[in-house]
Amino acid sequence: MRSRIIAAVAGLCLLPIAIFAQEFSQVRRTTNAPPKPSGVTPRTADGHPDLTGVWNGLGDNLLGVPNQIANNGLAIESESSTHDLHSGAAIATFPRNSNRPLNNEQSERAAALLRRVGSNRPIYKPEYWDMVKNLDANANEEDPSNNCMPAGIPRAGIPSYIGQTPGYFVFIYPGQGGLIATQTMYRMIPADGRQHTPLQDLDGTYAGEGIAHWDGDTLVVDTWGFNSNTWFDQIGGYFHSENMRVIERFHRDGNILTWTATVDDPDVLLEPWTTTPRVALLNPRPNAMLPESLPCSERDLAHTVTKEHH
Amino acid sequence: MNATIPRTVVIAAIVGLGLQSAGAQGALDRGKVLRAAADALGMVRWADIGNGATRLPGVDVVNTMEFQGSGTSYNSGQPVKTEYHVALGYNPAAMRVEMTRTGPAGGAPQHTIQTVRETYAWDESETGGGLVPGKGTATPAVGAVKDRLLQLWTLPYGVVKAALAAGEKTTVSTEGGATVITFPLSGQLAGITVKATLDSKNFVTRVETRPGDPALANLATETEYSDYADRGEVLTDIQSPGHIVRRQGGRLTLDIQVKMWEANDPYLVFPVPANVRTATGANPR
């Protein structure tokens, strides 16, 4: 009963995004492979690719599990073929042997495993291995983005909206509802050739101080000046220090935007870590808008009684 | 890709299973038996998404695991009280076995950490020793690779994965009313044949390994698994054995009661220390 109540609440929280997503869900998908790019890449007057647009066509944030699985590194290519995007290893794949819908418990446990099985994991210094594992195991309580806090960078992933001018970019990340409630977040990122503020002069923030430049046709956003209140991802317990630096790379190919982030945090990581590439699809409607996010009001955690992930 | 199972073999095996309808009777049985064994362990999972708009197939969700137990290990035939802690992963193939042993005469416990990843084996003075200067040591153990990998691939999940990877070389038979899966290992463990016995619930209950080379007689093992349940603090529906008994070279080497088995792909990593890579060589394969 409790699971059904939680599911209903989560469903209501997801409703606006679900409605927005409907037009992208009409093709029944049997794989989590991103679509092939189509269309031309528009360019601005200064010759750079124009990234302006609403970019949550594949639901990088919430639509979800197929993309979340891909985010963590599994490419399911057919009923008999899956491989790990990081290591290249083949993963045993089987046709479903039941058409019976999973119940909530089965579905949550399966989704949690599918999001976590990939091999692309940041390598922390050994003294932090147990800490990461314990944060992950207790993520329902420990995840700093629960209780409607900002997801931070790089967890926020691909912005749902990008506005591009010659001198700066605006990124908008709508808040998420449900059991992973996070707050709406925005970034205003200069691309005017300025240098970073010295780290010691910055007050750490959730989004840090991002500065953009072009590397050929790839937009590079270099960010530091973070607080330590976020994780790298929704899963994993991947905490960081205030000494984290994140290099994001955005590349547009027609209607497809590909994003990766490389995290360097010499205080806690043994080596820099690069996320598995994520992909978003452009909303093709000329009048595309981001719907208003519902106010974030976390009401589910108090009803969570197990350590199972959601 | 792990060092034991060549990637092309895995792909061929999986494709073969996916196209089983056109196969011979033997192939069909093999596919059904391996699927049943994987399902019994809870390895095959899928997600329903978007009111059925997306229907993904089932995939093997077992990668990293951790388990702890206590019992007895044997040192030259002498029983030794043992605390047993294992961290493992299949992508990449890796295992860290930490044992704290107290002899019958008491005294200070002996603590060992034996680690393997693909073609590298080493002993750690502490978990992750040797990765950060001044924090523990890593001692290469080149000759231990096969023995340690064998422990990984003879766990129930390793058996199912390796049997799938062996493709048509895997055979299925019935012995004494029980289903038996027989297959060759590959890569570092090439030349070793595995025979796994399933119970009526399709759980792997007995695993025997037989090396073809008499010089590798120490890799002849028998391991018994029983008392399966979901033992994770984070429940996953993945079933794990509660009792493990292993014999090596005909002698009892380990008898462990499992207290905890986390199967939710916990954060377990196995970076290879630089000195271990150097000692093993640039291209050990």
CATH number of the structural domain spanning residue B188: 2.50.20
Provide Rg for chain B, Cα atoms.
19
Letter string b/e over residues A61-94, b meaning 16 or more CB atoms within 10 A of that residue's CB: bbbbbbbbbbbbbbbbeebbbbbbbbbebbbbbb
Residue A309: inside a domain, yes or no? Answer: no
ipTM: 0.88
CA–CA dist A300, A283 (Å, integer): 31
| DSSP state, residue A206 | S
Query: Chain A residue closest to B130 (CA)?
Result: A126
Residue B125: inside a domain, yes or no? Answer: yes
CB A273 within 8 Å of CB A123:
yes
CB B42 within 8 Å of CB B231:
no
Q: Tell me the shortest Cα–Cα distance from A112 to chain B, in angstroms.
A: 8
B32/A contact by beta carbon, under 8 A? no
Q: What are phi and psi of B281, to 5 degrees?
A: 105, 155
Per-residue pLDDT tens for A133-172?
Answer: 999 999 888 888 877 888 899 998 889 899 999 999 999 9
Per-residue pLDDT tens for B134-178?
Answer: 999 999 999 999 999 999 999 999 999 999 999 999 999 999 999
Give residue B192's domain range. 65-280
Residue A184: inside a domain, yes or no? Answer: yes
Nearest to A76 by CA among A95, A98, A103: A95
Confidence of residue B21 (pLDDT cuts 50, 70, 90): very low
Contacts of A23 in chain B (CB under 8 A): none
Residue A308: inside a domain, yes or no? Answer: no
CB B32 within 8 Å of CB B215:
no
pLDDT for the residue A306? 73
Residue A186: inside a domain, yes or no? Answer: yes
Contacts of A90 in chain B (CB under 8 A): 1, 7, 10-11, 14
Residue A218: inside a domain, yes or no? Answer: yes
> How confident is the model over B38-63, as a mean pLDDT?
84
Residue A114: inside a domain, yes or no? Answer: yes
User: Residues 2 to 21 of A: which have CB under 8 A from any B CB?
Assistant: 21
The total domain count for chain A is 1
CB B46 within 8 Å of CB A110:
yes
| DSSP state, residue A163 | E
Residue B253 pLDDT exceeds 70: yes
Chains A and B: how many Cβ contacts under 8 Å?
198
Give residue A248's domain range. 2-303
CB–CB contact A127 B135 (8 Å): yes
3-state secondary structure of A51: coil
Q: What are phi and psi of A74, to 5 degrees?
A: -105, 125
Torsion of CA B185, B188, B191, B197, to 10 degrees: -30
Residue A7: inside a domain, yes or no? Answer: yes
CB B254 within 8 Å of CB B243:
no
Q: Which helix (H) or strand (E) holds A129?
A: helix A129-137
Per-residue pLDDT of chain A (310 residues; tens, 9 = 90+): 334 333 333 333 333 333 334 344 445 567 777 777 899 999 999 999 999 999 866 544 333 444 555 556 888 888 889 999 899 999 999 998 887 888 888 888 888 898 889 999 999 999 999 999 999 999 888 888 877 888 899 998 889 899 999 999 999 988 866 555 678 899 999 999 999 999 999 999 999 999 999 999 999 999 999 999 999 988 889 999 999 999 999 999 999 999 999 999 999 999 999 998 888 889 888 888 888 877 777 777 777 777 776 5
| DSSP state, residue A133 | H
Residue A233: inside a domain, yes or no? Answer: yes
CB–CB contact B131 A65 (8 Å): no
